[in-house]
Structure 1
Amino acid sequence: MAVSFLRHEVSDLCLGKPALRALSISATVADAVEALRTSEDNFISVWDCNHHSKSLAGDQCRCVGKVCMVNVICYLSKDDNLLAPSAALKAPVSEVLTKIPGNVMHVEPSCSLLQAIDLILQGNQNLVVPIQTRLSSTSRRKQFPKPTNYTTTTTNHNGQEFCWLTQEDVIRFLLSSIGVFSPMPALSIDSLGIINTTDILAIDYHSPASSAVQLITQSLDQQTSVAVVDIDGVLIGEISPFTLACCDESVSAAIATLSCGDLMAYIDCGGPPDHLIKIVTERLEQRKLQGALDNYSLSSASSSASANSVLSSSSFSSDDEFSPSPNSTKLMRSAGRFSRSNSYSARMVRRSEAIVCHPKSSLVAVMIQAIAHRVNYVWVIEDDYSLVGIVTFSGMLEVFREHLETMI
């Protein structure tokens, strides 16, 4: 059984994976926002393609990165971009791509599972894999003509479609054959030594949310989250890229004006409470950032009906009397979740409560917990909720890789 498991290739993990939606490297940040609005995935792949080449080989197109709404929000949260958001949105999408090399990497379908795990452990978040089909390249070209303007999204690259594999895909695959690794999965995460107690991204509940922008960027690159703690180190909640990715660009205004604690409530599922919208509006006006309010209203016009519906059904309530001003109404229209997809399973929106476990939790239990909540990590706490550390998919893959080494 162990021998047959080692024969798996990445093509085995790609079965049923959808083709990537793509954005050209020549697109703007505004193009990325629009693409994300209509996508069922949190990320859009960014490609550098030479469609004027006479060659029909798929390697003429290369995925150079990925972008999500968190990239856009952190970018727009910068002081200069808050002053002129319309101009910021016209910048090339490369401005919001991570500068860390190896964020994505192309691999062949024949790449072994062991090689794939090694590449992920080296820091490659997404492995880009050609989708193997029975269609000939000629029939593909008939079905998918080359676009004349490649700033819009597409799934086809010179006759070839691609999908990508993530840490979650690999962990799910390992979980499906967890018996191969017995008895290791039943051991506690503490005994396995995979609790990271040093590289924890955390911030105080009362700190300005603007001071968390760098941490949010780091957490996106590390595929973790920012813990929100009190003065005693007790875990209160988190500012998660997975939650922010389901918001729209107007959250940059909330980051500029709210505390970390208030930001958690603002981005919580169901939409921001009225009193926080009022605070954000007033503080933007005090800082003379009228352009930000106007821009977010315009950019969210297509989803205003959905946002208003979300806000009207919000479980939040305010103790203060609130009669929205015109600017407050504009912000309310853009503060809700995207109307990108009606599928809950396709886009799972979480609340700001952190997903936690204890040091004695078993590896398999933590794996299932993370997969169930669609996150790449689980916070580790003591009985009094004091923060101990974090367990990540990357840490789990390390122990699985060591175990697989013994099977060779």
Structure 2
Amino acid sequence: MAVRFLAREVSDLCLGKPALRPLPISATVADALSALRSSGDNCVSVWKCNHSSPKKNARSDHCLCVGKVCMVDIICFLSREENLSCPSTAIQTPISELIGESSGVVKHLEPHSRLSDAIDYILDGAQNLVIPIENKSSRLRKKQLSSLSSTLHNGQEYCWLTLEDVVRFLLNSIGVFSPIPALTIESLNIIDSDVMTIYYYEPASSAMEFISRALNEQKSVAVLDGGKRILGDISPNTLACCDETVAAAISTLSAGDLMAYIDYGGPPEDLIQLVKTRLLEKKFKAMSELMEEISINSLSSSSSGSSDEEFGLVRSGGSGRYAQTRRSSEAIVCHPWSSLVAVMIQALAHRMSYVWVVKEDHSLLGIVTFSGILQIFQNIAAGGS
């Protein structure tokens, strides 16, 4: 039964998925920032398209999604010293520079492919699977061509699936895989000891390489005290809900202060002033002015129009971006004796792609990731049982 379930088509996971709106490969970092702000999405898709084919019934494969860009990519890019000194010039950089080394995180997959094929792609490093949305009625198609042209690629619309989508789909039918979901993560051997850590009082800038790696591996950076107990984390999921000026906080604050800066509700005023002061000390006046400009724009936009609270939305501090996912530096933890299904529920409830594993004294033991969890289901498909 489990093997039959994993043979289901990925189109089953695409029901209700919105069509991707493309950002062309020729776009700039500034264009990506604008798209992220206007869409409210955590990331935007980047496409190479040929919409000028003279052939009738041109195939949709003239369009190819070559990557994605999220706020963490932009934050890491702006955290470079040369970009902190002149952020207005940096954001005019072609977006291709941000996706050049990470284009493999996006893969195209046909809608009739098996769920087990999607898992294989993810375990090979893909984070987003681009799936064609199957054709609808010709009348609706004409309506799309006229009113939704920004989502069409030579007459074809696409959506994408993430690791979270696949894990959530599996959890919804977890009984099919009994008794494996009830087994402990320790017995399933999915606790990854390859963790990225930084101590509370260390400069946050020393974790920059780890933050980039955590984004690529769908992990996080643990913040530890002197006894190697986990106090919190610097997560790409949390940074994705912030704005580009967090690059300044990373370059000037300690890891502990950075956790407070990016936590839910926005940075405390004293930390904002501390960041600005240290920017000026490092002669990064332009970045300090950018922080001030974004703060003013945020106050202006929040004081006009409808109330955010009226629609159940919360603004992230200082940026005006909507916090649609978990925005907290609190570490989400489990124990070696936690069951697989409990860890899946825990991660999905917090909209995270991982859960930290700690010992009884709260010292860090390792991490369980969605990739590690999906490896279990891939083994089931491979075993044919």
Q: Partner residue of 1:21?
A: 21
**Amino acid paired to 2:182:** A
Q: Secondary structure at the match of 1:281?
A: helix
Equivalent position amino acid for 1:61 in 2 = C
Q: Where does residue 336 of structure 1 map in the other structure?
A: 318
- State the Cα distance separating 1:285 from its structure 2 match: 1.4
Q: CA deviation at 1:85?
A: 0.6
1:143 aligns with 2:146: yes
Percent sequence identity over aligned pairs: 56
Shift, 1:7, TM fit: 3.5
The equivalent residue for 1:156 is: 152
Distance in 2 (alpha carbons) for counterparts of 1:5 and 1:213: 41
List per-residue Cα deviations over 1:52-75 (Å, max 9, x = no partner). 222432111110101110000110
**Structure-1 separation of matches of 2:203 and 2:125:** 30
Contact 1:144 1:156 in 2 (8 A): no
Q: Secondary structure at the match of 2:52?
A: coil
The answer as to whether partners of 2:47 and 2:67 remain within 8 angstroms in 1 is: yes
Structure 2 equivalent of residue 224 of structure 1:
219
**Inter-partner Cα distance in structure 2 for 1:2 and 1:259:** 47
Aligned position for 1:390 = 367
Deviation at 1:334, TM superposition (A): 9.9
Question: One-letter code of the match for 2:29?
Answer: V
| DSSP-derived class of the 1:385 partner | coil
**Number of the residue aligned with 2:206:** 211
Residue 93 of structure 2 corresponds to 91
**Is the 8 Å Cα contact of residues 294 and 319 (structure 2) preserved in structure 1?**
no
C-alpha deviation, 1:100, in angstroms:
3.2
The answer on whether the counterparts of 1:246 and 1:338 sit within 8 Å (CA) in structure 2 is no
Aligned to 2:54: 54
Deviation at 1:183, TM superposition (A): 0.5
Against the structure 1 CA distance between its residues 307 and 286, is the aligned structure 2 distance closer, same or farther, given a 3 Å change threshold?
farther
Q: 1:380 to 1:138 in 2, by over 3 A?
A: closer
Match of 1:352 among 302, 325, 329: 329
Quote the offset at 1:187 in angstroms.
Answer: 0.4
Q: TM-score, normalised by structure 1?
A: 0.86
Partner residue of 1:189 out of 185, 188, 199? 185
In structure 2, the residue matched to 1:314 is none
**Is 1:171–2:153 an aligned residue pair?**
no
The verdict on how the C-alpha distance between 1:373 and 1:244 changes in structure 2, with shifts beyond 3 A counting, is: same
Does structure 1 residue 122 correspond to structure 2 residue 87? no
For residues 101-127 of structure 1, give each alpha carbon's deviation from its aligned partner in whole angstroms, at most 9, with x where no partner exists.
Answer: 521111110111111111111111111
Q: Of 236, 251, 254, which residue of structure 2 is paired with 1:256?
A: 251
Deviations along 1:27-74, one digit per CA (max 9) or x if unpaired, are: 100110111111232010111112222243211111010111000011
Q: Distance in 2 between matches of 1:182 and 1:126?
A: 28
Q: Is the 8 A contact 2:252 2:279 kept in 1?
A: yes
Aligned residue type for 1:398: Q
The code of the aligned residue for 2:280 comes to E
With normalisation by structure 2, the TM-score equals 0.91
Unaligned 5+ segments in structure 1 are: 147-153, 310-332
Contact 2:295 2:319 in 1 (8 A): no
Per-residue CA deviation, residues 250-303 of structure 1 (Å, 9 max, x unaligned), is: 111111110010000000010101111111111111122111122344456643
Counterpart Cα distance in 2 of 1:287 and 1:222: 32
Which of 102, 105, 119 aligns to 1:103? It is 105
Equivalent-residue separation in structure 2 for 1:396 and 1:382 (angstroms): 20
Whole-angstrom distance in 2 between the partners of 1:140 and 1:201: 49
Which residue of structure 2 lines up, in the alignment, with residue 326 of structure 1?
none
Per the alignment, residue 402 of structure 1 pairs with: 379
Contact 1:127 1:166 in 2 (8 A): yes
Structure 1 position 98, deviation (Å): 5.6
Deviation at 1:405, TM superposition (A): 2.7
Report how many residues are paired. Answer: 373
Measured against aligned partners, the alpha-carbon deviations of 1:361-407 in whole angstroms (never above 9, x if no partner) come to 00000000000000110000011110000000100111111123333
Aligned to 2:8: 8
Q: 2:353 aligns with which of 356, 371, 376?
A: 376
Q: Which residue of 2 aligns with 1:34?
A: 34
Aligned pair in 2 of structure 1 residues 241, 6: CA closer, same or farther (>3 Å)? closer
Whether the 8 Å contact between 1:251 and 1:335 is mirrored in structure 2 is no
In structure 2, C-alpha distance between the alignment counterparts of 1:72 and 1:119, rounded to whole Å: 25
Counterpart residue number, 1:283: 278
CA contact (8 A) 1:306 1:339 kept: no
Distance in 1 between residues matched to 2:84 and 2:133, nearest whole Å: 41
Match of 1:328 in 2: none
Instruction: Give the root-mean-square deviation of aligned CA atoms.
Output: 2.3
Letter in 2 for 1:242: N
Distance in structure 2 (CA, Å) of the matches to 1:274 and 1:170: 40
Q: Name the CA distance, whole Å, in 1 between partners of 2:253 and 2:298.
A: 24
Q: Which residue matches 1:320? A: none
Q: CA separation in 2, counterparts of 1:248 and 1:19?
A: 25
User: Aligned in 2, Cα 1:364/1:286: closer, same or farther, shift over 3 Å?
Assistant: same
Q: Answer yes or no: is 1:237 the counterpart of 2:237.
A: no
Question: Is the contact made by 1:357 and 1:381 (CA closer than 8 Å) also made in structure 2?
Answer: yes
* Aligned residue type for 2:86: A
Question: Per-residue deviation at 1:206?
Answer: 0.9
Is the contact made by 2:263 and 2:327 (CA closer than 8 Å) also made in structure 1? yes
- Taking the aligned partners of 1:132 and 1:79, their CA distance within structure 2 comes to 46
Following the alignment from structure 1 to structure 2, what is the Cα–Cα distance between the partners of residues 399 and 7?
15
Aligned partner letter, 1:33? L
Which amino acid in 2 is paired with 1:86? S
SS at match of 1:191: coil
